[in-house]
Amino acid sequence: MSEPVGREGPHTEGGVAYLVRFRAQRGSGGALAELLLAAADSMGTVPGCLLYAVNSAADDADTLWVTEVWRSAADHAASLEADGARELIGRAAPLLDGAPERTDLVPLGGWGLRA
């Protein structure tokens, strides 16, 4: 059983979380979602990734949200250089309507986070 992430868990110090909103060009939400889900599929082997969840806004298929929890900011930065990451980012860029908007968070705990 994995240890919990939280105030008293092993990954609180230095742990980071991000909530990222992606706005796709009109009608491109499905294609962007496919790319983000491909990124999610690869996260199981990326060191330090505790959660990477892709969501669509209930009222707008062209607005996607990614929730990420990482053991450290360094792990997140390294993930952007992992095999295939730059290629996926390059394929996603033309689908975007503006830059992704990221909110930095401090993970306190919860169900579903895996160490």
Specify the higher pLDDT residue, 4 or 43: 43
Q: Which residues contact 90 (CB under 8 A, 6 or more apart)?
A: none
Predicted confidence at residue 63, as pLDDT, reads: 98
How does DSSP assign 22-71, residue by residue? Answer: EEBSTT-HHHHHHHHHHHHHHGGGSTTEEEEEEEEETTEEEEEEEEEEES
Over 70: is that where the pLDDT of 41 sits? yes
* Residue 93, pLDDT above cutoff 80: yes
Q: Which residues contact 3 (CB under 8 A, 6 or more apart)?
A: 9, 10, 11, 115
Say what the alpha-carbon torsion angle 23, 109, 43, 54 is, to the nearest 10 degrees: -30
Residue with tokens 């609180």: 12
Residues 53 and 17: their CA atoms lie apart, in Å, by 12
pTM score, two decimals? 0.83
Whether 25 has a pLDDT exceeding 90, the answer reads yes
* DSSP single-letter state for residue 1: -
